[in-house]
Structure formats: structure tokens, C-alpha cells
Chains A and B, each alone.
Chain A
Amino acid sequence: MHPVDWAVVVVYLVWIVYDGLRRSKGTDKVDGYFLANRSLPWWAVGLSVMATQMSAVTLVGTTGQAYATGLRFIQLYFGLPLAMVILSLTVVPFFTRARVYTAYEYLERRFDVRTRSLASFLFLVGRAFSLGVTLAAPSVVMSAILGWTLPVTVLVISVPMILYTTIGGVQAVAWTDVKQMFVVVGGMSAAVAVLLYGILHSVSLGDALHLAGATGRLKAIDFRFDPRETYTFWSGMIGGLFLMLSYFGCDQSQVQRYLTAKSIDEARHSLLMSAFVKIPLQLLILTSGVLVFVFYLFQTPPMLFNQTYDAQVAASPAAGEYAALEKDFNAAIDARRAASGRGERSAFLESDAHVRDVRAKAAAVVRRVTGDQRYNDVNYVFPTFITTRMPIGLVGLMIAAIFAAAMSASGGELNALATATIIDFYRRHFVTQASEGHYLTVSKLATLFWGLFACVVAMYSANQGSLVEVVNRYGSFFYGSLLGVFMLAILTTRATARGAFWGVISGMVVVLTVAFSPWTRDIAFLWHNLIGALVVFVVGMAISMCEPLPASAQAVAGGSRSGQ
């Protein structure tokens, strides 16, 4: 990378830490540290909500996925706008009026401490490991691209983030999120501009769209109803709706964002901002991936974008085979370029299939030589384009954008982990009466602890592909159950504490069974959220109907409903 690009990255890192620390004013009490004294404007909260959801994996992974398969990933977000409307009508007024720090605090008021602790514990376990993965995934890619060691990359991303989150609390997280969103959107817009500039040198926009469309990359909507397919219109609309309801309604890393808003109205506006903007923003990111594909129709791409094992393959007995594939690849690329330029559809599709075939063979050679059966290069497509094709200065901006996405997603998660630890466990079970100063100090220590824990998980999980997969799947094991228990809490006055607790346990057991049973394990993970929520609700209600409703629960439920 050029020194100017390094300078851009360094300036970005220094600026974001300085700004985060500057925002720590007013965080001398727990309310300020965890909820920014409920003082943030809707647009800042809205940007923070989106920044927390958008990790670096969104930038490097989604663009790579669009390069390989096109826009179909967008269907995952089809349920989001409706979810935001439902949440604005239901949990936002509940949580705001209840004056809670965590979503799970509400469960104790409605049910009992056991249900609250179980829900908070599920959140802590799942989120702590996923925070590690949030840091690990971009670190693995960026260490390969930038030539850094993995620990250095993890520390470059996490140390500034841990610093401003620990000292400045939620206020620092929210305001740095705002800036990071501008860096990310600015960077992605610059990438699209560079791609269009490069493409329009070779072909018109209409022809570029026809080339992308011919390979199916512009087919965003798939109306087939097949529960085994991860991304279809129906899995996005139904499974995605329940996923988004769970994530934005029951996951503390998101709930805490809108609890910092000035009022119920402002909290609603912050969620509705995502409802309007999230799909277009995701389309911008996916479009970048499709444009990278079109760009490389007229420029020669590397045979494999992930070149981590190049030296190992070159020194192995398979080096000759690999070199022959490379020669074949270059010939296929030339043929595809010629067909693209002439607009010959069948010749273009034929040569594109040949390119894919050679790439698959090359990846198979790498897997055979290295023994890394999970080897693929999807996540390396966009970073490779950035570092080899973008102009000086913009490379630095894009690297900063990837770091920004990693930091903004993990800062919110880290802050939420500390909040749940202190509010739901430390202050509730261990030290119930202490000064504000004491709670503030242990809150900062909890933030620091989870930050260091995430760094260790990141360094460990980077070399454990299976762990990454387990953590990702774990989210879908408990998300639906969490949503189910909140449905019991909010939608009905008849649910009892015992019903809620055993409902959650049943929901998780059923989802785990569905996920691992040989008959049902092909069901795409998005449907797990729906299954979990429904099981919790049905089992919870069934148990509740078998016992009388306690008077205290009746009063709380009645009070909550009257506030609707």
C-alpha cells in the first residue's frame, strides 16, 4: 500500500479514538454510561442501529457473495421493514416506559428473576462468542491482504474500539458509529464510482447490466417455496421477519441503541430509519460485488483471490498442475473478454462456465495440498479489488471503511455485554447496594474484560473454521426462543413465569433437534427463528393455562398493556 493510504488509515484510527474519548462527557453515572442519559437524537441512534448491524463481514463477505452469485442475498432483509413497524408499535413503548437498562430486566417485572437471568445468560454466551467472530472474520482477510500477522490485525481493530467503548460508554459508541457509517457509505460509494469508471471504459452501462444479468446475478428475487434454500422471497419475508424481530427486539446489542433515544417517538424514528434505508444500503454493497464481477470481465483477475497458500502450493508436487491450470485460466479469461466485448451471449456463458470450472479445480488443488477443506476465496474478492485496482488515497479510505465496519459492529456488542453483565447479574445478584461510582467502575472493568475475551476468541476462532460455524448457528438456536418469551410477555396477560421459563427451554430443545436431526437438518437456519418463537409461545401458553395467573403478574401485564 502507498504511504498516503497508510496515512489515511492512521488518521482515521487516531480520529475515531480521539472523538470517542471526547464524547465520554456525562458518563460519570451508570445511566450516562449505559444509556447516554436517554438524550440522543433519533438520527444518531438510527445510524448507530445500522452500524451495529453492519459488520466488516457485511462489506467483505457480502460483496464477495454478490461477485459469485449476485443480488439474491438481499432477500434476507425483506422482513426487516415490517419487523421495524411491528417493533415500533410493540416493544419500543414497552421498554421505554419500563425505564429498563436491558431488555431482560423487563422479563423479571413480567415473569420472574429466573426467566430474566436465563434470557440474559443466553444473550451473554451467544453474543460474547459472536463478538469474537465479528473481530476474527475481517482480521483473517485483512491480515492476508495487508501482510500483517493475525494478532496484529485483531489488535489494530480491537484496541481502539475497546479504548473508546470502555472509557466513553454508550455515548462514545453511538457517536463513533455515526462517523463510521459515513466512512463506510463514503467508501462504498467511492468503490462504486471507481468500478463504473473502469467498466464504462470497456462497455456501456446497458451492456454491463446484460452481461451481469445473463449469468443470473441480477435475479434478486426467488419465489420458490423451498425450506432448504437459504435465500428465497419466503424465507426472507417470513424467516427473516422473525430473525429481525428477535435481533432488533430481544438482542441487547440493538435494544440498548434505541433505549438511548430521547423519547418513544425518537426511538421509533431510529428504527424506522433502518426500515427505509437498510435494503437500499445493502443493495449498494451487493451492487459493488456485481460490478466487481463485470469489471473483471474486461480486466484479468487472479485465478484465486485468496492467495494465502500460493507459496505452499508452488513448493508442492502439485505446482506443475497448478501452473497448467493458471495457463488454462488465462486462456479462458481471454475468451470470455472477447465474447463479452462482442456481446455474444452463448459464447460468453460458455467461457464464463469454463472460468468457473478452472477456478473450482484450482481451489480443489489448494485444498488437497494444504488439507484446508474450508478454503474458499469469496471474502477476498473485494479486498483484492480495493488494494490492486483503486487509486491512491481511496485504498486507505476503503481499508478505513472495513475497519470502521468492524469497530462499529463490535463496539455496540461490547457495550451491551457489559450492560447485561452488570445490570442483570452483578447488580441484581451479587452487589445489590453500592454507590454509583462503584457500579461505574465495575461497568468499565466488565467492558474491558469482554473486550479482551473477544480478542482471545478472535485469535482462536480464526484457525477454527468449525467454531465460526457453530457460533453462527448458535445465534439461530436462541434468537427464536428469546422472541417467543417476549411474545409471551407482551402479547398476553395469561402467560405465567413457569410457562415462560419452560417455554424457552422447550424452544431451544426443539430448534436444536431440528438443526441436528438427519430428517430436518436441511431446513435453512432462517426458519429456526420462526420455529423457536412458535414453540416457546405454544408450550409457554399450554403450561400457563394449567396454573392460575398470579395477581402480581396480572397487575404488571395489565399496566404494560394499558401503556400501549
Chain B
Amino acid sequence: MKAKTALDDSLERDTPMTATYLGVLLVEAVILGALWVLGRLFS
């Protein structure tokens, strides 16, 4: 069996990113809210 190399280890670097995912959704919610307000304010 092939031994695991340093490259394999670095390639598999896999850390949880829950906070980033929530950040993505929060930013989108803020943008959608801002667009909705913009449309209401200037119509």
C-alpha cells in the first residue's frame, strides 16, 4: 500500500467552517433586505 505523503496530508486539510457558512447566509440576507428597501424607497 502506498504510504501517505506530506502532500496528501496538506491536501486533506479539512476544518469545520460553520461560522463562515452562517456568515455567507447572513450577508446574503442583508443584501436582499437592502435591495428590497431600495426598491421600496425609490419607486
Residue of A with least CB distance to B11: A263
- Return A190 CB to nearest CB of chain B, in Å: 23
Q: Mark A269-301, 1 if CB is under 8 A from B, else 0.
A: 000100110011001000000000000000000
How many residues belonging to B are interface residues under a CB distance threshold of 8 Å?
24
Contact of A264 among B11, B24, B27, B36 (CB under 8 A): B11
Q: Which of A143-151, A208-216, A411-419 contacts B (4 or more CB under 8 A)?
A: A208-216
Q: Which of A78-86, A485-493, A501-509 contacts B (4 or more CB under 8 A)?
A: A78-86
Residue of A with least CB distance to B42: A213
- Return B34 CB to nearest CB of chain A, in Å: 9
Residue of A with least CB distance to B17: A268
Complex Cα distance A84/B27, Å?
A: 13
Residue of B with least CB distance to A210: B42
Task: Using known A-B contacts A263-B11, A263-B12, A264-B13, determine if residue A221 contacts B25 with beta carbons closer than 8 Å.
Answer: no
Task: Classify chain A's interface size.
Answer: 35 or more
Residue of A with least CB distance to B10: A263
- Is A220 interfacial (CB 8 A cutoff)? yes
CB of B24 within 8 A of CB of A275, answer: yes
- What's the count of A-B pairs with C-beta under 8 Å? 80
- Return B7 CB to nearest CB of chain A, in Å: 8
Residue of A with least CB distance to B26: A81
Contact of B41 among A96, A97, A213, A280 (CB under 8 A): A213
Identify which of residues 225-266 in chain A touch chain B, using a CB-to-CB cut-off of 8 Å. Answer: 262-266
By a CB distance below 8 angstroms, the chain A residues around B35 are 71, 74, 220-221
- Is A427 interfacial (CB 8 A cutoff)? no
Complex Cα distance A74/B39, Å?
A: 13
- Return B13 CB to nearest CB of chain A, in Å: 4
CB of B11 within 8 A of CB of A38, answer: yes
User: Taking beta carbons and an 8 Å cutoff, which residues of B are in contact with A?
Assistant: 7, 10-15, 17, 20-21, 23-25, 27-28, 31-32, 35-36, 38-39, 41-43
The 9 closest A-B pairs by CB, nearest first: A213-B42, A263-B13, A219-B39, A220-B35, A264-B14, A81-B28, A275-B24, A85-B21, A209-B42
Given A220-B36, A263-B14, A268-B17, 19 additional A-B pairs, CB 8 A: A38-B7, A78-B28, A84-B24, A85-B25, A89-B21, A96-B12, A212-B42, A213-B39, A213-B42, A213-B43, A218-B39, A221-B35, A221-B39, A264-B13, A265-B13, A265-B15, A276-B27, A279-B28, A280-B31
